[in-house]
Amino acid sequence: MSSLRMPLGAARPGRRSAGAPSSWSRSDRIGVAACWAAGILLCLICAAILIYMMFRGLQNLTPSLLFSHPQASLNQSQSGGFLDPLIGTFVLTTMGIVIALPIGIGVAVWLVEYGRPPWLARMVESGVEVVAGTPSIVLAIFGLLLFTQNIFGFLSFTAEGNAVFGRSFFTAGAMMSLIALPLVVGGTREALLAIPHHVREASYAMGKTKAATIRRVLLPGARSGIATGATLGMGRIAGDTAIVTILLGASLQLSPQGGVPILRTLRGTGGTLTSYVYNNSPAGEGQAPQKAYAAAFVLLLIVILLNFAVDMLGGRRRNAGWTK
């Protein structure tokens, strides 16, 4: 009965414009209120984190922290800033996404445009899901096992007695790419699926091959989706700690290996903002919570900026499109 009256109540002019009409049953009204409260609660939690981190961060952050090398010292006036971890975060993120992008795009293109035989496509899909669901600590342990094999010695450095160290920006970046990979695949896939079939046919109808269609029409059309996936993936890489601790060494400073200028940094160990925060917080060695707050604030800023970029890209995608 109440459901019959509802549209009448809603349509009557001058009645309340929003919210639950009085004809709704009690359980419906409680449900709506609960959903509403859940949304508000999430906003409050988010705001609490942001405001607290901003307060603590701005309290402790000084420009010199961003531009000075960290030093191992118990005296906080001498332990320096977090330039090295900051560079480490950028290097590792770049490394991971550079590996993840071509593989992820390739996987997504194959899944959407070819995907035959179907059982193989299903297997690839579940493979991506498994990678997405694997805890990064598991990836890190597996990576360590893999990259300490002698064959991968060139990626890190080989100690005396032929033991491969296995920890470097290369090895950590390779494992980090697995964290970004599902997001790149997902973003590319969604974007390709959003391109209507008749756009592909229009290209075939011009006498173009499938390869040319993918290269010249579909990938440009999926650009913003790919960028969204990549940006999300970069955020995940920047925020991961386990792989940094195990596969990058989580050292305070960058410690290059060998003599070739850029290669020596990539083959060497280092740390990122996440490992820096961890090591300086009371959970780690607990020496300098102030610096941990400052570094955490910078990390949060980086991730928020990446998410902001995602929103911008997503907004552009919604505006330019085809009719299905």
Single out the segment in contact with another protein by CB under 8 A; choices: 6-14, 62-70, 216-224, 272-280: 216-224
Q: Binder to another protein among 132, 202, 309, 312 (CB under 8 A)?
A: 202
Report which secondary-structure segment, H or E, holds 97. helix 83-109
Could you tell me if residue 163 is left (phi over 0), alpha (psi between -120 and 50 degrees) or otherwise beta? beta
4 versus 211: smaller Cβ distance to another protein = 211
- Identified binder of another protein from the candidate list 19, 39, 286, 321, rule CB under 8 A: 321
- Which of 212, 260, 283, 305 lies at the binding interface for another protein (CB under 8 A)? 212
- The dihedrals phi and psi of 108, each to the nearest 5 degrees, come to -65, -40
Burial of 3 per CB tally in 10 Å (0-12, 13-18, 19+): exposed
* Alpha-carbon distances, residue 72 vs 81, 143, 274, 285 (angstroms): 11, 28, 17, 12
User: Across-strand partners of 80?
Assistant: 70
**Mind giving me the DSSP string for 179-236?**
HHHHHHHHHHHHHHHHS-HHHHHHHHTTT--HHHHIIIIIHHHTHHHHHHHHHHHHHH
Q: Return the structure tokens found at 62.
A: 């000084």
Examine residue 201 and tell whether it contacts another protein (CB under 8 A). Answer: yes
Tokens 């009085």 locate to 22
Residue 164 pairs in a beta bridge with 158
Tell me the site size for another protein, rule CB under 8 A.
24
Task: Please list the residues that pair with 117 across neighbouring strands.
Answer: none
* Nearest approach, Cβ of residue 183 and another protein (Å): 22
Between 12 and 198, whose beta carbon lies closer to another protein?
198
By the rule CB under 8 A, 12 interacts with another protein: no
Our finding on whether 208 is near another protein (CB under 8 A) is: yes
Q: Residue 174 and residue 191: Cα distance in Å, rounded?
A: 25
Answer yes or no whether residue 118 interacts with another protein by CB under 8 A.
no
Q: Is residue 196 at the binding interface for another protein, with CB under 8 A as the rule?
A: yes
- Does the protein bind another protein through residue 138 (CB under 8 A)? no
User: Comparing C-alpha atoms, which of 176, 179, 173 is closest to residue 156?
Assistant: 173
By CB under 8 A, is residue 323 in contact with another protein? yes
Our finding on whether 324 is near another protein (CB under 8 A) is: yes
Nearer to another protein, 88 or 225 (CB): 225
From residue 219 to residue 238, the character string flagging contacts with another protein as x (rule: CB under 8 A) and all else as - is: -xx-x---------------
Contact status, residue 240 vs residue 136, Cβ threshold 8 Å:
yes
Say whether residue 217 binds another protein (CB under 8 A): yes
Q: Shortest distance, CB of residue 227 to another protein, whole angstroms?
A: 13
Q: In whole angstroms, what is the distance from residue 148 CA to residue 166 CA?
A: 5
- The residue among 154 and 322 lying less far from another protein, judged by its C-beta, is 322
What minimum distance in Å lies between the beta carbon of 121 and another protein? 15
- Residue 13: asked if its preceding bond is cis (omega within 30°), the reply is no
Q: With respect to another protein, which residue has the nearer C-beta, 67 or 322? A: 322
- Binding part of the chain for another protein, among 24-32, 79-87, 173-181, 215-223 by CB under 8 A, reads 215-223
Nearer to another protein, 69 or 223 (CB): 223
Enumerate binding residues for another protein (CB under 8 A). Answer: 196, 198-199, 201-209, 211-212, 216-217, 220-221, 223, 320-324
